[in-house]
Amino acid sequence: MSDRRLPRLLQSPAVILLLIWMLIPLGMTLYFSFIRYVLNSLRRPEWTKPALSNWRGFGNYEFVLENKDFLLAIQNSLFIVCSILFLTVILGVLIAVLINKAFPGRGIVRVLLISPFFVMPAVNAVLWINMILDPVLGLQGLAVAGINDLISSLQNAPVVGWFFSLWPQFEPISFRATQTSAIAVIMMVTWQWTPFAVLIFMTSLQSEDQQQKEAAILDGAGAWSQFRFLTLPHLARPIAIVVMIQAIFHLSLYAEIEIVSRGNGNKNLPYLIGEFANNNIGAASATGIFAVILANIVAIFLLRMIGKTLME
Amino acid sequence: MGRIQLEKVSKSFGDVEVIPPLDLTIEDGEFAVFVGPSGCGKSTLLRLIAGLEDTTSGKVLIDDADVTQVSPSKRGLSMVFQTYALYPHMTVRKNIAFPMRMAGLSEDEQEKRIMAAAESLNLTDYLDRKPGQLSGGQRQRVAIGRAIVRDPKAFLFDEPLSNLDAALRVGMRIEITEMHARMKTTMIYVTHDQVEAMTMADKIVVLQAGVIEQVGSPLELYSAPKNLFVAGFIGSPKMNFIEGDEASKHNAKTVGIRPEHIDVVESGGAWTGTVGVAEHLGSDTFFHVHDTGLAETLTVRALGNVALNHGDTISLSPRVNEMHRFDDQGLRIA
């Protein structure tokens, strides 16, 4: 027994540190979610200190569930995360396969492709919403105005004028509006995180066995069959890694949502927690626990799905 | 049918010419072995035939049809790779089925051929395993199975046994030779191991630096090597080469004599020397003999166990009629 005790003893500081690291925040969140705890209350000053005497049971959870924004926030979280995952994985695989072959200037292209990943999220959001997506001053506004100008000048042209006079005026889309702000967030985060997927897939593609490909060529497999039956299964594991890491990151998106619409019609769970935490720590903690549960469900579901479809 | 002809085929990578133009014909049903030291271009030559590399100039003909511009899969050849090149995420069954699936064969036909191949290769019990769960020898058999089901005009083997251990290698060597005897399909086999070449081939093609040094049956190469390179490459242990006065006696720049053609005699042999290393294998004894008055150390092979050890004096008698004579250019003098 003693020869087993020593290694355990030596491991214990690290294990205990990790447990404290994880368990104390989780324990505090759980504790706060079951008591009345607010930052400011003139009417009930005793609630401003966390104490067991303020026990509220599942009251905070009920309060959160009855909040009109809660279901929307969950829906929105899932919508944003799944859309980003879908787009980054598909774009990532396509770009990685595209730049896997040697061509002049490949080194520079790779650096350029990866650079969006180094932009800070808040900066990324400001750039996109003001300089690209703005309906008047952004690239979008300029492009739509340019197209409209072109069409209206063609309407006066001889011979083909009647054809272009049938065309409507194009309207720029406002991405700060309630219905579209989630789309804006998806676009900017996809732009930022596709490089991450490309990077992971690219390194994985370089370890692909070339003799397998040659064998497949001799076996009569065309480019698509090689991709479908060799490359894609080879990428199954990196795809799972990309999905898992991104799911964890994007469930906690905050900066982009704050900057695009200040959560107007486009809250996700972290944003809702942030709103509650302005005063009601109890409700914020209860929402946090919901977020933990959601994150686990999403992770398990996604990993199963990917494992099954790609490994045949 | 599977008659393969190379006409003035050459290959360059950039400015480096790895194969100068060469001609070669491999007859239908022949077991041809390309042998040579590493980097001699033998694998490149095989890949040119397979179509995995484009020829720089010249023509590849299969059954008299020019296939130089035909894609690899349309040439009707199967290849077995050194690293097996199995598809790691597919079961053995799916691996073997893959070429048929690509060719669009019916499920029934696929199953029939898979079972036939699996039976002849002893793979029936492993059909639902993945390559990662198989031993090296089994993996190589799966790779051969995948080659067989295509019913190819010719099999191409690229050093298929190099990754196996010595005992398995001998076993697989025999299996492939038997397979050839049974199927009578053309096979081209690349190896750097002259023992594999000698034991398996109908026709050996000895290559050095992309140049064909000699083409012939194993025994032709053994008994009448065209030049010093072939003489030194074929046969184990290596042929002894003697230069100087001893060679001049036979009107040659160099004379070669194989270790098995030097007899150990009691006394009065042509050469007397000191035993350096003596290797007693039981069936044979190899002596490395110094101080014979020749510049070179001689290797001698004696049948059975000969009780001479390090430092003993040994008397040697070469069989003069088994000597090979080479001129200034290293070419054989008939």
Q: Does B83 touch chain A (CB under 8 A)?
A: yes
Give dist(CA B35, CA B317) in Å, integer: 32
Compute CA distances A118 → A122, A188, B257, whole Å: 12, 13, 71
Give pLDDT, residue A45: 82
Q: CB contact, 8 Å: A227 with chain B? A: no
Which helix (H) or strand (E) segment is A290 a member of? Answer: helix A281-310
Q: Which CATH number fits domain B4-232: 1.10.10.10, 3.40.50.300, 3.30.365.10, 1.20.120.430?
A: 3.40.50.300
User: Does the residue A30 lie in any domain?
Assistant: no
Q: Is pLDDT at B106 greater than 90 in this prediction?
A: yes
Yes or no: say if A254 and A271 are a contact pair by the CB < 8 Å rule: yes
* Dihedral sign (CA B132, B135, B136, B142): negative
Mean pLDDT of B121-127: 91
Q: How far apart are CA B288 and CA B150, in angstroms?
A: 50
Whole-number pLDDT of residue B51: 92
Residues B49 and B158: beta-carbon distance below 8 Å:
no
Residue A17 host element (H or E): helix A2-33
Asked if A236 and B89 come within 8 Å (Cβ–Cβ), the reply is yes
In whole angstroms, what is the distance from residue A220 CA to residue A150 CA?
Answer: 50
Residue A57's region, left for phi above 0, alpha for psi from -120 to 50, else beta, is left
Secondary structure of A106-174 in HEC code, one letter for each residue: HHHHHHHHHHHHHCCHHHHHHHHHHHHCCCCCCHHHHHHHHHHHHHHHHHCCCCCHHHHCCCCCCCCCC
Q: What are the tokens at A119?
A: 């932009």
| Residue B62, SS3 per DSSP | strand
What is the pLDDT at residue B31? Answer: 95
Does A225 sit within 8 Å of B85, measured CB to CB?
no
Say whether pLDDT at A309 is over 70.
Answer: no
> What is the C-alpha to C-alpha distance for residues A253 and B178, in angstroms, rounded to an integer?
66
Would you give the DSSP letter of residue B70?
Answer: S
**Position A2 confidence tier, pLDDT thresholds 50, 70, 90:** low
B96 interaction partners in chain A (CB closer than 8 Å): none
Q: What is the mean pLDDT of residues B80-90?
A: 91
ipTM of the complex: 0.83
What is the band of B240 on the pLDDT scale with cuts at 50, 70, 90?
very high
Among chain A residues, the shortest Cα distance to B90 is held by A312
What backbone phi and psi angles, to 5 degrees, belong to B306? -110, 125
Residue A312 predicted with pLDDT over 50: no
* A12 in a structural domain: no
How large is the average pLDDT for residues A108-118?
A: 90
Nearest by Cα to A196 from A95, A310, A46: A95
Alpha carbon of B293: minimum distance to chain A alpha carbons (Å): 53
| pLDDT at residue A279, rounded to an integer | 85
Amino acid identity, position A291: A
Beta carbons of A218 and B90 less than 8 Å apart = no
Nearest CA in chain A to B98: A219
Chain B, residues 15-44, CB within 8 A of chain A, namely none
Number of domains in chain A: 1
Residue A3 at interface with chain B, using a CB cutoff of 8 Å: no
pLDDT over 90, % of chain B: 68
Q: How far apart are CA B138 and CA B92, in angstroms?
A: 10
A126 and A256 in contact (C-beta within 8 Å)?
no
Contacts 24+ apart (CB under 8 A), A138-142: A140/A172, A140/A173, A141/A172
Choose the closest CB to A218 out of B77, B87, B88: B77
The percent of residues in chain A predicted with pLDDT above 70, rounded, is 97
- Give the C-alpha separation, B315 to B264, whole Å: 6
The answer to whether A250 and A82 have CB atoms below 8 angstroms apart is no
* Confidence label for A1 from pLDDT (cuts 50, 70 and 90): low
Q: Is A102 on the interface with B (CB under 8 A)?
A: no
Q: Looking at residue B128, what is its pLDDT?
A: 93
β-pairing verdict for B298-303 and B313-318: unpaired
Q: What is the CATH number of the domain that holds A297?
A: 1.10.3720.10
Whether A278 maps to a domain, the answer reads yes
CA distance B43 to B20: 15
In A, minimum Cα distance to B155 occurs at: A218
Q: Which CATH superfamily is domain B237-326 in?
A: Nucleic acid-binding proteins (2.40.50.140)
Question: Of B78, B76, B52, which is closest to residue B63 (Cα–Cα)?
Answer: B76
Give the distance from residue A311's alpha carbon to the nearest chain B alpha carbon, in angstroms.
Answer: 7
Q: Which residue of B has its CA nearest to A215?
A: B85
What integer pLDDT is reported at residue A10 of this predicted model?
A: 93
Contact state of B85 with A221 under an 8 Å Cβ cutoff: no
* Chain A CB contacts of B85 below 8 Å: 209, 211-212, 214-215
Pairing of the two strands B186-191 and B154-158: parallel
Higher pLDDT, B1 or A128: A128
Q: Does A108 touch chain B (CB under 8 A)?
A: no
The domain limits of chain B are 4-232, 237-326
Residues on chain B touching A312 (C-beta within 8 angstroms): 89-90
pLDDT in tens, B15-72: 999 999 999 999 999 999 999 998 888 999 999 999 999 999 999 999 999 999 999 9
Q: What phi and psi, each to the nearest 5 degrees, are found at residue B50?
A: -70, -25
> Percent of chain B at pLDDT above 70?
100
Nearest chain B residue (CA) to A212: B85
Please tell me the distance from the alpha carbon of residue A115 to that of residue A34, in angstroms, as a whole number.
45
B8: left (phi over 0), alpha (psi -120 to 50) or beta: left
The Cα of A196 is separated from the nearest Cα of chain B by a number of Å equal to 25
Using a 10 angstrom Cβ sphere, with 0-12 exposed, 13-18 middle and 19 or more buried, the burial of residue B310 is: exposed
Q: B13 — contact with chain A (CB < 8 Å)?
A: no
Q: What is the pLDDT of residues B156-206, one digit of tens each?
A: 999 999 888 888 889 889 999 999 999 999 999 999 998 999 999 999 999
pLDDT in tens, A168-201: 888 888 888 877 888 999 999 999 999 999 999 9
Q: What is the average per-residue pLDDT within B76-98?
A: 92
Residues 196-225 of A with CB under 8 A from B: 209, 211-212, 214-221, 225
Name which residue leads in pLDDT, B1 or B65. Answer: B65
pLDDT recorded at residue A311 = 57
The pTM for the full model equals: 0.79
Q: Do A311 and B89 touch (CB under 8 A)?
A: yes
CA–CA separation, A143 vs A145, rounded Å?
5
Interval A124-154: pLDDT, tens = 999 999 899 888 888 999 999 999 998 888 8
User: What is the rounded distance in angstroms from the CA atom of residue A35 to the CA atom of residue A280?
Assistant: 11
Domain with A65 in it: 59-119+180-312
pLDDT digits over B282-303, tens only? 899 999 998 888 888 899 999 9
CA distance A219 to chain B (A): 4
